[in-house]
Structure 1
Amino acid sequence: MQPLSLAPLDQFSSVRFVLTDMDETLTYRGRLPAQTYDALARLEVAGIRVIPVTAAPAGWCDQMARMWPVDGVIAENGGLFLRRDEDGHRVERHYWHTSDTIEHAAEQLQAIARTVAHAVPQAEHADDQLFRLTSLAYRRTGTDLDQRILDALIQAGANATINNLWVLGWVGGYDKLSMSLRILDDVYGIDAEAASDLIAYSGDSTNDAPMFGYFRHTAGVSTVVDYLPQLPVPPRWITQGPGGAGFVEFADAILASRTTPASIAV
């Protein structure tokens, strides 16, 4: 992992998509800086498609897909993909689960939640649980309670992880990477082999690990250092700033690469 400032000018000349975590990668301390929103818009104007890939609930991501300068949003750690319809006022939803298994998956989550409540009575759902369609989220405490919730989720049959905001559980065997590769192929016609070089990814936490391990162009915002012991493969680059400021650095580096002779020749 090297400082992003040391990246060669043409390092990101092949990038055509930016996939990015949201919480504490686009945001900082829960807020979206104006400069970060502007960076999203500048990427869009330059013809680079931006897709946030986040553990945030579908309710938040519906608004993002409708109103932000992004091409779509992968929500709930891969549970579904939301994208503006052609008329600009409706949102298409692509679930990981097929239409005939969505209801069963929801029933499984309800059963898992009951099991966790019994095993860890102190566990509290996140205040955004109401807006979730495919996942369970529990409030992080920063104590050993987080690990106990994680263990209870796994023992109940869920896939589970901890990020910087939540202890998360879901069913279906997917993660950020598997859903990203499916959407890239199904919606954009980019296969997994090509994606490695055409995609840039930015993140800050443990549930970004599959993305850091797969894509060639990866950057962690500065706070990723807090999670390096839990990351089998660190991001290739690290920004100077945290959260949205770090994302702006990454966006600027990608946009600068598009002015190089190599990128113009593509």
Structure 2
Amino acid sequence: PFAASWPVDAIVAENGAVAMVRQPEAPLQRTGPAAQSDAVRVHPMGPGGPVLAKIYQQDAATRAAQYARMQEVLAGIERDIPGARRATDSAGRECDIAIDHSEFVQLPQPAIDAVVQRMRAEGMHATVSSIHVNGWYGEHDKLAGARWIVRALFGRTLDAEIGRWVYVGDSTNDQKMFEAFPHSVGVAN
């Protein structure tokens, strides 16, 4: 909900799988794969206020199958790795899972390593951020998500104009973004 008040065109989330896009009264214009899918949900932010549309890189059937599998992996991690607990924002996640390691829980490094190993053994991508271990299925990542949303919203190619953009990140899982963007800022979380 707070994101609707930010002066941005879109917020890419869940390791590039999802974007929350400010939608005025006019319908969201989409190009690329999102335009041919059922990949939009609209969230009104209050009477007369802005609306956020959620758009996805994957279709609903793919997301549903991956979500079910991720929930099984998440339950197994919580059951089998002592101290491992899902992140407090897990209820809002649709395209990835997150294990808290430093936000509200202090998970020791061997447990963090075990979570990453378990996710990868289950065929997931896994990254460690400053507060979570994130896992997901699919070929998206933060950089692919940034490229996707620039193409979908503006009909442009991010790489052709990347020198005009600035990336701000706070974590080791932002490495691809820091490498791709000539102008980037690393901040403390």
TM-score, normalisation: structure 1? 0.56
Q: CA deviation at 1:177?
A: 0.4
Unpaired runs of 5+ in structure 2?
26-48
Q: CA deviation at 1:174?
A: 1.2
The SS at the match of 2:61 is coil
Q: Matches of 1:113 and 1:120 in 2, distance apart?
A: 10
Identity among equivalent positions (%) equals 29
The answer for the alignment partner of 2:159 in structure 1 is: 193
Residue 184 (structure 1) aligned to one of 123, 134, 150: 150
Q: Conserved in 2, the CA contact under 8 Å of 1:204 and 1:220?
A: yes
The SS at the match of 1:92 is strand
Q: Matches of 1:70 and 1:175 in 2, distance apart?
A: 20
Q: CA deviation at 1:119?
A: 3.7
Unpaired runs of 5+ in structure 1?
1-62, 224-242, 244-266
Aligned partner of 2:19: which letter? F
The answer for the alignment partner of 1:251 in structure 2 is: none
Q: Matches of 2:86 and 2:170 in 1, distance apart?
A: 23
Deviations 1:124-147 (A, max 9, x none): 111221221211111102512111
Q: Conserved in 2, the CA contact under 8 Å of 1:120 and 1:149?
A: yes
The answer for the alignment partner of 2:11 in structure 1 is: 73
Residue 147 (structure 1) aligned to one of 110, 113, 128: 113
TM-score, normalisation: structure 2? 0.77
Matched, 1:168 2:129: no
Q: Which has the higher strand share?
A: 2
Aligned residues: 161
Q: CA deviation at 1:121?
A: 4.3
Residue 116 (structure 1) aligned to one of 62, 69, 77: 77
The SS at the match of 1:93 is strand
Larger RCO (CA under 8 A, 6+ residues apart): 1
Q: Matches of 1:111 and 1:96 in 2, distance apart?
A: 22
Deviations 1:24-77 (A, max 9, x none): xxxxxxxxxxxxxxxxxxxxxxxxxxxxxxxxxxxxxxx133122222211122
Higher gyration radius (CA):
1
Q: CA deviation at 1:104?
A: 1.2
Matched, 1:86 2:24: yes
Q: Matches of 2:92 and 2:151 in 1, distance apart?
A: 28
